[in-house]
Amino acid sequence: MDPKHSAETVRHLEKEGESLMETYRSMSHQLHRLQKGNVDDNVRNVESGSPDELAAKKGDKR
């Protein structure tokens, strides 16, 4: 392979690597936000009671 093309290929791959890393960071951040949301929802559910306990408070029979 011509050295000129090698240099262009290396630059292209470096840019691709940077783009992939940015995408990874963004997706990781979003995943952590979603996981935190699920943890917060689970904490609220535990604090308010199980679905059966909530139904009993409303007078529903399960």
What is the rounded (10 degree) CA torsion for 28, 31, 35, 37?
A: 120
Euclidean distance between CA atoms 30 and 26, whole angstroms = 6
pLDDT, the chain, mean: 82
Q: pLDDT at residue 51 above 70?
A: no
Predicted TM-score (pTM) above 0.85: no
Q: How confident is the model at residue 9 (pLDDT cuts 50, 70, 90)?
A: very high
Stretch 35-61: mean pLDDT: 70
Residue 6 has pLDDT above 80, yes or no: yes
Angstrom distance (rounded) from CA 22 to CA 24? 5
In the chain, where are the structural domains located? 3-58
pLDDT tens digits, one per residue of 20-29: 999 999 999 9
Alpha-carbon distances, residue 49 vs 32, 36, 44, 60 (angstroms): 25, 20, 8, 14
